[in-house]
A and B are shown apart, each in its own frame.
Chain A
């Protein structure tokens, strides 16, 4: 096995939906062996069941959502409603370093897989529970998803067009964000264990991980007793700062953000309006911010007739931050991301080779790569039970027939 940062670390992964699997995928990216525990006994393993399916043909192994966020993991099926399955899970814990879940608070305890129990099996185990609202407090039993967490954390209240209603934010961002915070917490706990030998339990709240990313809004209230307001794409300091309509259909836009005076003068040069640089309305950053409506009209008049890529390239060449508004197709075809080898493109036995978002970092000494595509459901049940628990094929067959391994 390659010498990766988490080579030799094994994760028993009870997570489901999006937040939890996003967390454990980071560990797989870093070299850990992640064993995803699934079951068909519970109907809602949502990510295997919702579109897009490869070529629109439904099937649990054909779902893009699942196949994206479970790259590099193994899959076993355990029917956790059965005591024999819980017993197998406990036996597996003995061979694992980390146990992860993102069930509602208390579910792992009810299953007989709470931290006290796992710790009695393996004292140095690290466990993380990534619930919607945390394991304590009056909302601990509330149902949490990413979109309601966007509402509860103030992201909806602070996002939206100038003068308009609170807006949604396009993706269920608090989900991957909870996952990424979970991955950080696990790296910290692994470091602590490497230094001291001690394991621990981590109680993480999705709601709070979203709040950790709201400091500008929260401190506006704390320092000035005022809500931050909604300002579309505008910035408190920089102007111009907007997505501008480019030539072409409704989906063609180019974003431009101008920081200091040097960038402003460069924008004027690229727009071939040198007189603007001397215009007293736009002389300083503060004045540009004050007169940004007029500024937005001027920039729009320029972008309107230009191809979004031509505009972005010309501006970037002059040192101005600009980028087209990318669709999924734009990302997939992007020469930069392809040249960096960002996309993972591995042969999957049911969907073939498909582009997936890959690993957003490169490490010089321990080059990480997606090592296998997302697993077929239950593909590793037999090898894992054989190699880790020493079960015989007969024993496994018996468990399968009696409904423990579904």
Chain B
């Protein structure tokens, strides 16, 4: 996010490369560290170099890099930091103007500071998976994680915000500082009103049960699926009219949004036939024309083909060596004064080592070759 807005970001990878280089998605499912979709998305606009921070020569390289850096962002686990030269207090003692944003699953203090966390366990630790999918009638099915790497992304976004805040503080005072970001805590603050159900009304939340409001469900259409929703009474009135004022709509079972939530199975069965006659995009457009907040259950293809996203120029095309042009999701905030652009592809492993280490940090070429032979750089 910060590179996209113009900062010069140097991505320092361990000798084997970043973990995401091994996660894909890869073209034709052929693993290739230079062709991982997620790596490319997350690292476009950066330059890259390798330094093995587990070895003293690698930490020496890190030191040279930090001498010219404003911000250091990392997500090395708290227990592994000191050995890699990333202990926050030691960094600040050596570089008092540096902003250090350190992301971890559970923060760097407290009983779980050294616990491991992957996306799945984080979404459970933060109380999200436990709520999902929501209003489920199947107690034997487990809590469900959302697609993708949402908790990890939130750790990153919170780090981007606080790193800029610390940078602003530095502009005013000249002082750097260290930030401890907990992904668990970031996501636990994003649970809608579910946390307060306990602290305000002593109700424990669950993925089971019924919807607070209705209609609120996914239904089949003639060619896909629609998310049918009406949260306000006036939206429901317009929806009933749109459906042609069916007789059942005036039944006591559906008298208000709360009743419609409780009797959603009946509602879904009755609305189902009407919904199934529509094509998804037509229904979306016609419902929205009546200010009824339906939305299509879009596929990835739907998104790439969306006329709205095309007109907003949301997608950005990256010419990634070895892959050719790749259409990536672009910046979701359009800045009037500081527009965003893709400036360079994601770095190949170690691509900018010479340029950075020799050209900018003054390390002799022979020394870099030695470090390469030793597997440090």
Contacts and interface: CB of A to CB of B under 8 A. Distances in A.
A218 B336 contact: no
A356 B180 contact: no
Contacts of B302: 154
B64 interface: no
B127 A328 contact: yes
Given A156-B218, A221-B304, A241 B120 contact: yes
Contacts, number: 511
A337 B185 contact: yes
Contact of A336 (B24, B106, B199, B294): B106
A355 B197 CA distance: 11
B164 A219 contact: no
A364 B88 contact: yes
8 contacts: A189-B338, A219-B40, A233-B144, A244-B142, A255-B123, A255-B125, A326-B130, A360-B158
Contacts of B210: none
Interface residues of B, number: 148
Q: Which 6 pairs of residues, A with B, have the shortest CB-CB distance?
A: A64-B196, A170-B132, A219-B37, A148-B295, A365-B177, A360-B185
Interface in A321-343: 321-332, 335-337, 339-340, 342
A257 B338 CA distance: 41
A247 interface: no
Interface residues of A, number: 158
A148 B201 CA distance: 28
Given A181-B157, A200-B335, A202-B336, A243 B168 contact: no
A323 B117 contact: yes
Interface in B74-115: 88, 92, 106-107, 109-112, 115
Given A62-B200, A169-B146, 15 more contacts: A30-B161, A115-B336, A133-B308, A136-B312, A151-B298, A181-B333, A191-B168, A200-B338, A208-B309, A221-B304, A233-B120, A253-B142, A316-B115, A328-B196, A365-B166
Contact of B158 (A55, A180, A211): A180
B127 A222 contact: no
Chain B CB within 10 Å, residue with most, of A133, A209, A337: A337
A224 B29 contact: yes
A145 interface: yes
A58 to B, nearest CB: 11
Contacts of A316: 112, 115-116
B333 A182 contact: yes
Chain B CB within 10 Å, residue with most, of A152, A158, A342: A152
A199 B337 contact: yes
B7 to A, nearest CB: 10
Contact of A68 (B132, B195, B295): B195
A1 interface: no
B334 to A, nearest CB: 4
